């Protein structure tokens, strides 16, 4: 199974709502990522979890809160978002080489959640 | 700061043509480079991964080369098909899990 699943596929929320995006993989990968992608732009890294610990936070606003409850699941909790946060949110996973703190293997991406903030 | 640029930004070719997509990066101290394709509104699919010690990788009609010293990679697509129409992205990584993505090339193969 080389699949990364993301739910929901689409999400519309108001600026005062609280919602969560979910990502799941069963490939035994121990690195999981959240990316944000605006239209016609490349993905931008938001967070990386390695062995269920937050490894990278790319200075993302606190209205985005990641969580990695176990090695297969990754959540992104959303609160008080702004309209400019509307984007495609992509989850990915890979198998890290811990000793060299790099990823050596392919990143597998989920299909994304299309988020619209009204 | 690593910057990754892809040329051309958009490309339209007739079916059957061989084509080359280019990726340039400013910092040659990379660990690996990946090529992805992305269909509109969808996630990314990894096509090829080249470790910094490798010069090229091949998969079917795709061949990717890497010249670290000059900061360049190319993706060669042989005998293009309409199903190859997508955006192609290259991404480089260094010492962390951080991948920097290129600006992408939007490819359209005409039947």
pLDDT average, residue stretch B6-29: 95
Task: Say if residue A19's pLDDT is above 70.
Answer: yes
More confident call, A58 vs A91: A91
Paired tokens of B54: 């490798």
Average pLDDT, chain B: 93
Strands (E), chain B: 4-7, 10-14, 19-25, 32-38, 44-51, 56-59, 62-67, 72-77, 86-93, 99-101, 105-110
More confident call, B95 vs B103: B103
Cβ-proximal residues to B77 (8 Å cutoff; 6+ apart), any chain? B18, B19, B20, B21, B61, B62, B84, B107
How many angstroms separate the CA of residue B78 from the nearest CA in chain A? 23
Chain Cα centroid distance, residue B72: 10
Task: Say if residue B64's pLDDT is above 90.
Answer: yes
Interface of A with B (CB under 8 A): 4, 6, 31, 33, 42-45, 48, 50, 55-56, 88, 90, 92, 94, 96, 100-112, 114
Of A76, A97, A96, A79, the C-alpha closest to A88 is A76
Paired tokens of A81: 């978002």
| Residue A43: CA count within 13 A, CB half-sphere | 33
More confident call, B93 vs B15: B15
SS3 assignment, position B84? helix
User: Cβ(B46)–Cβ(A108) under 8 Å?
Assistant: yes
Beta-carbon separation of A103 and B97 below 8 A? yes
Beta-carbon separation of B95 and A92 below 8 A? no
Q: How far apart are alpha carbons B49 and B58 in whole angstroms?
A: 9
pLDDT average, residue stretch B48-55: 90
How many angstroms separate the CA of residue A49 from the nearest CA in chain B? 9
Task: Say if residue A103's pLDDT is above 90.
Answer: no
Going by pLDDT thresholds of 50, 70 and 90, the confidence category of residue B38 is very high
Cβ-proximal residues to B15 (8 Å cutoff; 6+ apart), any chain? B80, B81, B82, B109, B110, B111
Q: List, as one string, the DSSP characters of A31-87.
A: EEEEEEE-TTS--EEEEEEETTEEEEE-S--TTEEEEEEETTEEEEEEES--GGG-E
- Chain A partners of B103 at a C-beta cutoff of 8 Å? 42
Task: Say if residue B62's pLDDT is above 80.
Answer: yes
More confident call, A21 vs B30: A21
- For the segment A32-83, what is each residue's pLDDT rounded down to a tens digit? 999 999 998 999 999 999 889 998 888 899 999 999 999 999 999 999 999 9
The pLDDT value given to residue A101: 52
SS3 assignment, position B65? strand
Task: Say if residue B80's pLDDT is above 70.
Answer: yes
Going by pLDDT thresholds of 50, 70 and 90, the confidence category of residue A2 is low
The pLDDT value given to residue A98: 56
Q: What share of chain A is helix, strand, coil (3-state, %, to 5)?
A: 5, 60, 35
Beta-carbon separation of B99 and A112 below 8 A? no
For chain B, the straight-line distance linking the first and the last C-alpha, in angstroms and rounded, comes to 41
């Amino acid at each position: 199974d080389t699949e990364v699943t993301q739910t929901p596929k689409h999400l519309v929320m108001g600026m005062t709502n609280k919602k969560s995006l979910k990502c799941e993989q069963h490939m035994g990968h121990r690195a999981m990522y959240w990316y944000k992608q605006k239209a016609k732009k490349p993905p931008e890294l938001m967070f990386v979890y390695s062995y269920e610990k937050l490894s990278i936070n790319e200075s993302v606003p606190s209205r985005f809160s990641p969580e990695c409850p176990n090695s297969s699941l990754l959540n992104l909790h959303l609160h008080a978002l702004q309209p400019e946060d509307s984007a495609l949110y992509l989850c990915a996973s890979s198998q890290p080489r811990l000793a060299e703190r790099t990823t050596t293997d392919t990143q597998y991406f989920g299909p994304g959640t299309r988020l619209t903030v009204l | 700061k690593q910057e990754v640029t892809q040329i051309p930004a958009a490309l339209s070719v007739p079916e059957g043509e061989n084509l080359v997509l280019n990726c340039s990066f400013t910092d040659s101290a990379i660990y690996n480079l990946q090529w992805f394709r992305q269909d509109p509104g969808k996630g990314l699919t990894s096509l090829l991964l080249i470790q910094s010690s490798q010069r090229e990788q091949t998969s079917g009609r795709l061949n990717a080369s890497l010249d670290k010293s000059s900061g360049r990679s190319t993706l060669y697509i042989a005998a293009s098909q309409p199903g190859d129409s997508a955006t192609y992205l290259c991404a480089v990584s260094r010492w962390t899990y951080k991948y920097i993505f290129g600006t992408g090339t939007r490819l359209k193969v005409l039947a």
